[in-house]
Amino acid sequence: MVPISFEFYPPKTAEQHAQLDRTVAKLRDAGPDYVSVTFGAGGSTLSHTPETIQKLRTGGLDAAPHITCMGGSREEIRGLLKLYRALGAKRLVALRGDLPSGMVSAGELRYADELVRFIREETGDHFHVEVAAYPEMHPQARDSQADLRNFVGKVRAGANGAITQYFYNADAYFRFVDDVRKQGIDIPIVPGVMPIANFSQIRRFSDLCGAEIPRWITQRMLAYADDADSIRAFGAEVVGQLCRRLVDGGAPSLHFYTLNLSKPTLNVLSHLR
């Protein structure tokens, strides 16, 4: 079994806090290398992410915050870096992010490579920095070659590793890794894995982020209609088989997008193991 990691989002309400507590308690036994905490849409969870990082680290988990630059100033990002160092974080997930709702300025740092370079200037090698990768191309990229150049730029700015957008076509991942290696880049590229529990939700996510759901999966899911048990069972089997192929093909680790739920991820892990 390869190393695994989990992604959570920072809770805001009492109910969300309770949900995350239950999820962390159940996933802890899977032995993740680390967990990450998102920064929220458009950086809307500026205080919630550090609070969640502190809570998870106090609970004994190596917790890595996501940090974004879109809409923020150098001083704001500098303050977050100081805070995360004070909290004991040694790993960051550095992303461009989305422009916060209602803001018209992209901020002082506009792209992820600029953010990575700024992190290195401010903190040296203190943080292990992960960046995003897009095996099926970033939805805003001009073309696949431009997307590849953007990724290479982030790595050369100082990234230690990459986590991919989720996908359901293993060939897309393997081809992306091959293309990256031809550019002389040898950092670990970890597949991001999205378990399927609510297919309608996953279809919405996929439309937004450009992740392709193979037609045969869609047709099978549609045939199950409102049969939630069959959807969950089939989803766990499909994603479990995807993970097995990725691991057998040399993926260095697996990073699970949990959506703050434990059961879908545990079901995939049971198939994988």
Active site residue 121: no
Cα(167)–Cα(146) distance, rounded to whole angstroms? Answer: 20
| Residue 19 DSSP SS3 | helix
Cα(190)–Cα(68) distance, rounded to whole angstroms? Answer: 19
Dmax (CA) for the chain in angstroms is 53
Nearest to 131 by CA among 105, 165, 99, 84: 165
Cα(243)–Cα(173) distance, rounded to whole angstroms? Answer: 11
Give the other-Cβ count within 10 Å of 60's Cβ: 8
| Token couple for 248 | 């057998």
Whole-number Cα distances in Å, 125 to 92, 128, 134, 160: 11, 7, 25, 10
Supply the DSSP symbol for 262.
S
Do 29 and 2 contact (CB within 8 A), yes or no? no
Supply the DSSP symbol for 101.
T
Which residues are marked as active site? Answer: 7
